[in-house]
Amino acid sequence: MKIINVVGARPNFMKIAPLLREMRKNKHFKSILLHTGQHYDYEMSKIFFKDLEIPKPDIHLGIGSGSHADQTGRIMMAFEKVVFREKPGLVLLVGDVNSTLACALVASKLSIPIAHVEAGLRSFDRTMPEEINRFVTDSLSDYLFTPTRTAIHNLQQEGIQNGKIHYVGNIMMDTLYSFLNKKSDTGIVEYLHLKSKNYVVLTLHRPENVDHRKNLKNIILGLKGIHKIIPIVFPIHGRTKKRIKEFGFSSSIKKMTNLKIIQPLGYTDFITLMKDSLFVMTDSGGIQEETTVLKVPCLTLRKNTERPETVSIGSNTLVGTHPESMISESLHILDGDAKTGDIPELWDGKTSMRIVNILKKNH
């Protein structure tokens, strides 16, 4: 069975790595890795592929950046040519980026079966582009591999047939446990002159936070209060760096002497940095999940999440973008009142095995 596995941006890499390893153990599958190039930082892509032991993509579309419509359209045109040439038996998609949506539309119109890993996640916020991508991709997919029981419920509420829904657990944890089992210490904490459990990790990239001046200003005000108490290390996203400059916040950032801005990190360095932190502040969905398994408190700078189990079961707290909430919740953790939580069901590192077994059984 020929499967085209699609990745397009960094969050996809962690999800595809264990699936590729599992498929390539099995002669039943001919696995093709296609990188759309939606995430266009070649050097950072290379670091992630090396860290995660992902083979060089068989096909690279080299799409690059653009508006949602422009990027999605160019991926569709390029991917359609690949599908005509390769004639796959299945297109496997992960996550919720524009590449996921674009390739789902192409495969569906050409009657190629679609598998969606991380199906059923919902924030119920249609202002998020990712929410549209999730909803449309799930509606077109033939195999919906869900990470949680909540995701199953969401799909059932949308009228998806039960026969298409498969509860397999969280694919991100396969990659995380693989790293943890190696007991690797990359030395990143010492390199940055930080002390274990005496610093905070910050990530910030979502358009609703960094593209809106008021929200970004509020977050910076919150950071001003927190950095006076504990060091903050901030691997800065290119989009965020650009907006800070555009909105005139550069001088405010420079005055924060306990805020350490660094370049984006590879997977192993970043997981090491999170694992040894006192807590994490983020607007990333994947980091909410990783901190839950690491049992590191996480303050999510959003008003909602498509990963509610990280809040109800795990170590995550939604704090929004209000400076007072950011500072208040940080003080709770600093006072020893940290939320560590438990690990949700089937977040056990065996999700890729379950997915491959289901695909093998049905083909």
Q: Please give the model's pTM, rounded to 2 decimal places.
A: 0.94
Catalytic residues: 205
Residues 247 and 154 in one domain: no
Please compute the mean of the pLDDT values over residues 149-163 and round it to a whole number: 97
* Residue 51: strand, helix, or coil: helix
Does residue 42 register a pLDDT over 70?
no
pLDDT range class, residue 261, cuts 50, 70, 90: very high
| pLDDT value, residue 185 | 74
Is 178 among the domain residues?
A: no
Whether 245 maps to a domain, the answer reads yes
**66, pLDDT greater than 70:** yes
Q: Are 8 and 152 contained in the same domain?
A: yes
pLDDT of 316 over the 90 cut: yes
Are 116 and 218 in a shared domain?
Answer: no
344 sits in the region (left: phi over 0; alpha: psi -120 to 50; else beta) called: beta
| 110, 33: one domain | yes
Read off the pLDDT band of 48 (50, 70, 90): confident
Does one domain contain both 126 and 196? no
Place of tokens 């007072």: 324
Residue in 315, 308, 249 with CA at minimum distance from that of residue 281? 315
Within this chain, do residues 163 and 285 fall inside the same structural domain, yes or no?
no
Provide the number of structural domains found in the chain.
2
Per DSSP, the residues of 110-168 read TT--EEEETTT-----TTSHHHHHHHHHHHH-SEEEESSHHHHHHHHHTT--GGGEEE-
**pLDDT tens, 110-133?**
999 999 999 999 999 999 999 999
Does residue 203 share a domain with residue 83? no
Residues 187 and 149 in one domain: no
Tell me what the mean pLDDT of segment 165-177 comes to. Answer: 97
- Do 30 and 154 sit in the same domain of this protein? yes
Tell me whether residue 204 is in a domain.
yes
CATH of the domain at 238: 3.40.50.2000
Residue 83's alpha-carbon distances to 59, 75, 97, 134, 325, in angstroms, are 11, 12, 19, 22, 49
Sheet holding 232-235, edge to edge: 259-262, 232-235, 200-202, 279-282, 298-300, 316-318
Mean pLDDT of 303-328: 97
- What average pLDDT does the structure give for the chain? 95
Structural domain including 36 reads: 2-169+347-361
Mean pLDDT within 243-272: 95
Residue 259, domain member (yes or no): yes
Sheet with 143-146, strands from edge to edge, namely 59-60, 30-35, 2-7, 90-94, 114-117, 143-146, 165-167
Cβ-based neighbour number of residue 177 at 10 Å: 16
pLDDT per position as a tens digit, 268-297:
999 999 999 999 999 999 999 999 999 999
**Is residue 130 situated within a structural domain?**
yes
Indicate whether 157 belongs to any domain: yes
Tell me if 187 is assigned to some domain.
yes
pLDDT at 46: 78
Residue 288 inside a domain? The answer is: yes
pLDDT band per the 50, 70, 90 thresholds, residue 45: confident
